Amino acid sequence: MNRKNITRKNGDEGEYIRLRLPKKHKKEMFAIADRLMGGSRINAVCEDGKSRMARIPGKMKRRARVRAGDLLIIQPWEIQNEKADVVYRYTRTQANTLSRRKILPEEIDVF
């Protein structure tokens, strides 16, 4: 099976990507970790241009170290839109791959 020309569910043909992408129906979006605030919180700049206080869950805090400048997937809170939860952290190689394939929005494409 040739992975270069796989037809997706919506009929578009394109390259097959094996990276986790934000789920728009769950309101997830790309963000860049701006600075660490302490207490498992970071300040993240999101793809919609807003700066949000994001909480790193315990499971991620123990397994994947989040540093300033990392590419993240965050999910804003429904009650307070200026706060969010970190869902996923990309490695530097994965972030470069997304940037090279033009998947990242222009607002946060610094890789």
How much is the pLDDT for 6?
Answer: 44
- Tell me which residue of 22, 42, 45 sits closest to 98, measured CA to CA: 22
Residue 33 maps to a domain:
yes
pTM, to two decimals: 0.80
Q: Is 21 helix (H, G, I), strand (E, B) or coil?
A: coil
Residue 108 maps to a domain:
no
- Tell me which residue of 95, 111, 105 sits closest to 29, measured CA to CA: 105
36-95 tens-digit pLDDT: 998 899 999 999 999 999 999 988 888 888 999 999 999 999 999 999 999 999 999 999
Dihedral (C-alpha) 80, 20, 106, 53: value to the nearest 10 degrees? 30
Structural domain harbouring 47:
18-101
How much is the pLDDT for 78?
Answer: 93
Residue 90 maps to a domain:
yes
Residue 107 maps to a domain:
no
Cα Dmax for the chain: 48
* Cα–Cα separations (whole angstroms), residue 110 to 46, 47, 102: 13, 12, 12
5-48 tens-digit pLDDT: 444 555 555 667 688 999 999 999 999 999 999 889 999 999 99
Residue 7 maps to a domain:
no
Q: Domain total for the chain?
A: 1
How much is the pLDDT for 92?
Answer: 94
Report the CATH number at residue 55.
2.40.50.140
